[in-house]
Amino acid sequence: MMLHIPQVLSHTEVLALRQKLDASNWIDGKETVGAQGAQVKQNRQLPEHSPLSIKLGQLVLNAVKKHSLFFAAALPLRIVPPLFNAYAGGEHYGLHVDGAVREVLNADYRLRTDLSSTLFLTDPEEYDGGELEVVDTYGTHTVKLPAGDLILYPASSLHQVRPVTRGTRVCSFFWTQSMIRNDQQRSMLFELDQHIQSLRGQVGDSPEVLGLTGHYHNLLRMWSET
């Protein structure tokens, strides 16, 4: 399941982040990937251990955790602290699959990467190219969202960032381990939850809505890993 999650950050919050990022020191993005990724990755990244990266990542994480649509779709158990990257002057990231397991900064555990997230921090008109392309069984999906919006998709997907030929593309990105490992089960729960919310808005907590809510939680109880 791919999902566009709008307005994770407000326009004011995006501007505040960008001011700090524009004045920061970037490093070669190859320093944070393995051998396969390094062959196709050409971009810059904020050092993940830097105080600025940690501080800004926490701001993004706080916003994500408060977004009800993100929670409903991802059902997060653990989230890797958000990172930041930039593309300009033809920089790109060729076709690749994200690593299945990530170490978490200042934590004594590893995290399974069920879901990938890209939070756009530049508007589409600020740069040419730079589309996120995600390949799944239904074809290739091209994504280029307004600043402050996020795309959520399975981390198992083959994907790439097309070359940026004008301007600069700045994003935050991170991975989530979901309580629901299986993407199909997670999608079913999300669809059921959205129907329940829609029905509740129309008829309130009717017996039918309460019954569907019970089914949702029983499925979550059956399938979840915590």
Q: Tens of pLDDT along 103-147? A: 887 788 899 999 999 999 999 999 999 999 999 988 999 999 999
Give pLDDT tens digits for 54-109: 999 999 999 999 999 999 999 999 999 999 999 999 999 999 999 999 988 778 88
Answer yes or no: same fold for 3-178 and 183-223: no
**C-beta separation of 44 from 29 below 8 A:** yes
Q: How confident is the model at residue 34 (pLDDT cuts 50, 70, 90)?
A: low
* pLDDT value of position 104: 87
CATH architecture of the domain 183-223 equals Irregular (4.10)
Domains of the chain, by residue range, sit at 3-178, 183-223
- The CATH H-level (homologous superfamily) assignment of domain 3-178 is q2cbj1_9rhob like domain (2.60.120.620)
For residue 222, how many other CB atoms are within 10 A of its CB? Answer: 8
Q: The tokens of 188 are what?
A: 């079913």
| Element (DSSP H or E) covering residue 175 | strand 164-178
* pLDDT value of position 23: 93
For residue 29, how many other CB atoms are within 10 A of its CB? Answer: 21
Q: How far, in Å, are 3, 26, 27, 111, 136 from residue 9 at the CA level?
A: 16, 22, 25, 25, 28
